[in-house]
Amino acid sequence: MSATLLIPALLLDAALGEPKLIWDRYPHPAVLMGRLVGWCDRRFNNGATLRLKGVAVMAALAMMAVVLGWLIHCLPDFGIVEVLVAAILLAQKSLVQHVGAVAAGLRQSLKDGQRAVAMIVGRDTAVLDRSGVSRSAIESAAENLSDGVIAPAFWFLVGGLPGLLLYKITNTADSMIGHMTPRHREFGWAAARFDDLLNLIPARLSALLIALTNGWTDPKPILRDAPLHRSPNAGWPEAAVACVQGIALSGPRSYHGQMADYPWVYPEGRRDLRPKDIDRTITTLWRAWGGMLGLAVVVAVLA
């Protein structure tokens, strides 16, 4: 049943994305999740035993998400509701639009490109050249394809709406409190580790879909470079994108005025990147999306 519902959800998201007419008037479910996580952070991230409190908060959020998904599943005509909720929580079209805005901005000027990429990455963007802006957008595209499209689709396929909501609340918590900062190192530990766990299979599935739908059949450079990434999961789609496009990703970059000497992903690839490489990445994203849609169709037929 989940596979049958995932197919129209993927298509609906790809067609409509996030209509401003709706979300300018009403809070997006992801925004509501963020508000809930933010409240938990303010309320419980203080005093002693912060790691234990963080574990309890993450467990409570996960239980709430699963129960809410189950309650929606129990509604009359639940299939229509589940398709709509799943489509809202997938992010293919919005991802493509945000990444495409960087290419459009960069074609206008370096400053416009820097402003556009600052909306989707956390590194220092004012020091980036045209190649750095392009690389940042491509890396964000690869990681968010996994986090925003393949992973939620995978967990919907596996666990229906409860699985999807469980993933989304975990991913939201990780993005807000799962950082190695003095404030969140302990309290956000559980959110970060649980997010790593839930992305373990989808990240590798993302790499597989990127490679296969773009005709890449040599797994060696992906297997070599993906584990070098600072994230246990983000390196997989990033390495796959780098390989299929023949470009070098990651490498040194600046955060809060401090240079971080990260290793290159696919270092033999071209390092001089331009807006056309972002355009090629968007094509790569759509091909991988098509692979996920095809997988859903196969599962639906077999089921």
> Burial code of 202-218, b = ≥16 C-beta within 10 A, e = fewer?
bbbbbbbbbbbbbebee
Give the structural domain span for 143: 2-302
The C-alpha angle 287, 104, 208, rounded to 5 degrees, equals: 20
Distance (Å, whole) CA 154 – CA 149: 8
Q: Is the pLDDT at 282 greater than 90, yes or no?
A: yes
Per the listing, tokens 């056309």 go with: 276
Question: What phi and psi values does residue 259 have, to the nearest 5 degrees?
Answer: -75, 135
Can you give the pLDDT at residue 23? 85
Half-sphere exposure of 246 (CA within 13 A, CB side): 2
Q: For residue 258, what are the β-bridge partners?
A: 255
Amino acid at 181: T
Distance (Å, whole) CA 53 – CA 178: 14
Can you give the pLDDT at residue 260? 76
Question: Tell me: the pLDDT tens digits for 13-72?
Answer: 999 988 888 888 889 999 999 999 999 999 999 999 999 999 999 999 999 999 999 999
Per the listing, tokens 């989707």 go with: 120
- For residue 249, the surrounding DSSP H or E stretch is strand 249-250
How many of the other CB atoms lie within 10 Å of CB of 47? 7
Question: Tell me: the pLDDT tens digits for 128-174?
Answer: 899 999 999 999 999 999 999 999 999 999 999 999 999 999 999 99
Mean pLDDT confidence for 270-287:
97
Hey, is 222 helix, strand or coil? Answer: helix
> Which residues, at least 6 apart from 88, have a Cβ–Cβ distance to it below 8 Å?
13, 18, 28, 29
Question: Tell me: the pLDDT tens digits for 176-228?
Answer: 999 889 999 999 999 999 999 999 999 999 999 999 999 999 999 999 999 98
Question: Tell me: the pLDDT tens digits for 124-134?
Answer: 888 889 999 99
> Burial code of 8-25, b = ≥16 C-beta within 10 A, e = fewer?
bbbebbbeebeeeeeeee
Can you give the pLDDT at residue 252? 85
Distance (Å, whole) CA 264 – CA 249: 6
> Which residues, at least 6 apart from 251, have a Cβ–Cβ distance to it below 8 Å?
135, 262, 263, 264, 265, 271
Question: What phi and psi values does residue 56 have, to the nearest 5 degrees?
Answer: -65, -40
Can you give the pLDDT at residue 75? 84
Mean pLDDT confidence for 281-294:
98
Question: Tell me: the pLDDT tens digits for 103-117?
Answer: 999 999 999 999 999
Distance (Å, whole) CA 107 – CA 187: 42
Amino acid at 55: V
Can you give the pLDDT at residue 76? 82
Q: Is the pLDDT at 248 greater than 80, yes or no?
A: yes
**How many distinct structural domains can be found in the chain?**
1
